[in-house]
Structure 1
Amino acid sequence: MFKATSKLRNSTAIAYAVFALSSCDKNETNPAQPYDDGVIVINSGNFFDNNGSLSLIQRDSKTASFDIFLKENNRSFAGGLTDYAEVDEKGIILVDNSTDGKDAVEIVDAHNFKSIASIKGEIDNPQKAVKAGSNKVYITCWDTFNPDYSYKTGFIAVLDLTANKITKKIPVDKGASSIIVIGTNAYVGNVGGQKTIKVIDTQKDEVTATIEVGANPSNFVLDGSNKIWMTAGKEIVLFNPITKNIETKLKGGTNDKKTPSSLSISKDYKTLFYTNNFYDTADGYKLKGEINSLNIADGTSKVFINRTFESVGFDNESNQIYTTLIPSYKQAGYIFRYQASGALIDSIKTEIGPIGFLFK
């Protein structure tokens, strides 16, 4: 009896050990975590209320998960949000506080959104973040404003994700905004009234060239040939980073009041989508306009969605178009989803001031 029980116990122990080892092997395949996929919505919040947030929309859901940073860290951002990017499995959140000296970079684990580090008081008016090397991020910053609210010389803050600190500030043009990295070069645009882009060697962290392309070059997107489409004043411009020349200049539309912005590109690289808006001073400074599409092959543009939105993005995963609607900066905004054909799918309530997306 004793021997039989011992054998049974030994057999059970062996079976359990095999099961445990098998379970360990399965767990080592990195099971899915809460924020591994979906669409992150960047909500700027109300500037003076400092209540920016990030929402998450799963592609098969009709509702958004609100303030995911608060949910995972039991605290909110102390400011509005201007951008969210992911670099080497870390999330980079740019926080713009209405008080000078209180802007911040929040760093989280991109898989579970748990806080890794907060960097405060080292940047001013951050705009965009982009990967610039291994564990290295470039952040475009406007700097503080002059007393008359004009732009000072902007800069690129170099963020080291190993030490979680700003290691250098590279002076660029006023109103530094859009940035894109191709190989070992970063291309920096601006909204400060200038006509040039800066080229930065990402290995030396130094400006190597200044190139004239048109007024306020911004809203950068890459096409299938690694050329940069951008808005410049009323035009949409194609810039070749190899030759450093403008290849194409196209009108964003026929209405001189409207200005193209929020440029995005279709999955097949054949079509550009963008907002074409203006503020109507005769109607209480109300934003008016539509979403336009531009056929890259023949350069023709047309009204694609005849409704006013603040921004537009193209989701390659679902082949759908996402747009943002801001009724006011004191109430929830909305995300409208469209088929690539322009047919409306649905609308989803989000938080205050949705301005953009990160498609995971």
Structure 2
Amino acid sequence: MNLKQLLWAFALISVSFACSDSGDERPLGKYESGILIMNEGSFGTNDGEVYHLNPNTEELLPNIFEAENNRPFAGLLEDMVRVGDRLYLVANTGKVEIVNAGTFKSTGTVANDLDQPRSLAVNGNKLFISDYGPYDDSYGTPDSYIAVVNGLDGGAVSKKIDVSNKPGDLYAHGNFILVAGTEENKIEIIDATQEAVTSTIELDASPRAFYAEDGILWVYAVTPTEVIFYTINLSSLTLGNTYTVPVTKPTGRIIFDGDDKMYIVTSSDWPEYNDAIFAIEIEGSTVTATELMTGSGFYGIGFDDERDEIYVANSNAFQGNGTVTVLSESGSVIRTFEVGRGPSGFLVY
């Protein structure tokens, strides 16, 4: 799951009413509290979906997009991004579905002229969508781009901005969009008005996620043997500090607990299939990594800040439905339950 949405993920709503822009109180929508579980779906079947969990009662509602819109999601779900009352469901099979965050009723789509979208950011009245572009004959992505859509409820792609191969997470700041260039180890900065790349920050690792806290933008980046955290000065859009910790085969899956720790997923390929969950803590200039759990099939990570619980998604090798295991901060198993196909991320309200 990507990190620009985590201001929502960590701001858990514990009241039964929310304020509208007019200052009036309104009841929360059906899905506006609790935990959304993103199930990627299976390649070829395109059965990605979202589940809703009430952590107080442990009630789990499956397939809420289909339930509220009378049609299947029909895509591979790559990311969920909440901005205000809108929730953007990004499918890497070529579309973005836009729903009301409280009711999950559809409010629009971006369904034309996308290839393999990965994430999304909002700047003003524009959507910026990172897209790998089409594969070439060698399964490379030399035509990666950021798609621009004029209108928060979707519509046609008005422009494609050329960027480096395999753009991933996005972060909007002021008049700029920061792009995580995962394959070429760089951050590209787009001027949202000009709709063009105006500068680039070169890195020593593959950037996978952004997370902003207390005026600092963190960049989570990986190599085969290290996790590297960069900070970016938002006033100048330049690199600040760098923190490195040796961790073997870290993935792009990370969650910040909103306080002082990050939780990541590591994964080794065949024939080992050894996966792990690590807690990473930064104190001053010292970074430490503590192994909390080992296994196989780990595919996503989430954190419930109100209950101090870690959510670990397991794809079960896409052989049937996946599962979610809830851990304490020390790594003790609290409970496990079945979800959809390929669970990969969480939004916690």
Length-normalised TM-score, structure 2: 0.84
| 1:247-258 equivalence runs, <5 A | 247-253=241-247, 255=248, 258=249
TM-fit CA distance, 1:138:
2.0
User: Matched residues in 1 for 2:172 and 2:306: separation?
Assistant: 22
1:178 matched to 2:172: no
Q: Structure 2 vs 1, CA of residues 264 and 126 (structure 1 numbering), >3 Å: closer, same or farther? A: same
Per-residue deviation, residues 279-316 of structure 1 (Å, max 9, x unmatched): 1x335xxx322111112112121212234422212233
Runs of 5+ unmatched residues, structure 2: 1-23
User: Matched residues in 1 for 2:309 and 2:231: separation?
Assistant: 26
* Structure with higher helix content: 1
Matched-pair contact (CA < 8 Å) for 1:128–1:139: yes
Matched-pair contact (CA < 8 Å) for 1:72–1:113: yes
User: Matched residues in 1 for 2:136 and 2:55: separation?
Assistant: 43
1:302 matched to 2:290: yes
TM-fit CA distance, 1:163:
6.1
| 1:209-220 equivalence runs, <5 A | 209-220=199-210
TM-fit CA distance, 1:189:
1.0
Query: What is the DSSP-based 3-state SS (H/G/I as helix, E as strand, rest coil) of the residue aligned with 1:69?
Result: helix
TM-fit CA distance, 1:260:
4.2
Match of 1:202 among 192, 197, 203: 192
1:55 matched to 2:51: yes
The code of the aligned residue for 1:288 comes to N
Residue 11 of structure 1 corresponds to: none
TM-fit CA distance, 1:52:
0.8
Residue 267 of structure 1 corresponds to: 258
| 1:118-267 equivalence runs, <5 A | 118-133=109-124, 135-162=125-152, 164-165=154-155, 166-192=157-183, 194-233=184-223, 234-242=226-234, 244-253=238-247, 255=248, 258-267=249-258
Per-residue deviation, residues 195-245 of structure 1 (Å, max 9, x unmatched): 211012234332121111123221332343422131231332213234512
User: Matched residues in 1 for 2:49 and 2:136: separation?
Assistant: 28
Residue 320 of structure 1 corresponds to: 309
User: Matched residues in 1 for 2:58 and 2:276: separation?
Assistant: 24
TM-fit CA distance, 1:82:
0.7
**Which range moved further: 214-223 or 87-96?**
214-223
Q: Structure 2 vs 1, CA of residues 307 and 151 (structure 1 numbering), >3 Å: closer, same or farther? A: same
TM-fit CA distance, 1:345:
1.7
User: Matched residues in 2 for 1:33 and 1:351: separation?
Assistant: 23
User: Matched residues in 2 for 1:128 and 1:162: separation?
Assistant: 15
**Which range moved further: 47-56 or 227-236?**
227-236
User: Matched residues in 2 for 1:305 and 1:203: separation?
Assistant: 45
Residue 78 of structure 2 corresponds to: 82
Residue 11 of structure 2 corresponds to: none
Per-residue deviation, residues 30-51 of structure 1 (Å, max 9, x unmatched): 2232111111111111011111
RMSD across aligned positions (CA):
2.0
Residue 288 of structure 1 corresponds to: 274
User: Matched residues in 2 for 1:180 and 1:359: separation?
Assistant: 19
> Taking every aligned residue pair, what percent have the same amino acid on both sides?
25
Query: What is the DSSP-based 3-state SS (H/G/I as helix, E as strand, rest coil) of the residue aligned with 1:299?
Result: strand
Residue 18 of structure 1 corresponds to: none
| 1:93-132 equivalence runs, <5 A | 93-97=89-93, 103-132=94-123
The structure having more radius of gyration, on CA atoms, is 1
Runs of 5+ unmatched residues, structure 1: 1-27, 98-102
Aligned residues: 318
TM-fit CA distance, 1:120:
1.6
Matched-pair contact (CA < 8 Å) for 1:228–1:241: no
TM-fit CA distance, 1:141:
0.7
Length-normalised TM-score, structure 1: 0.82
TM-fit CA distance, 1:246:
4.9
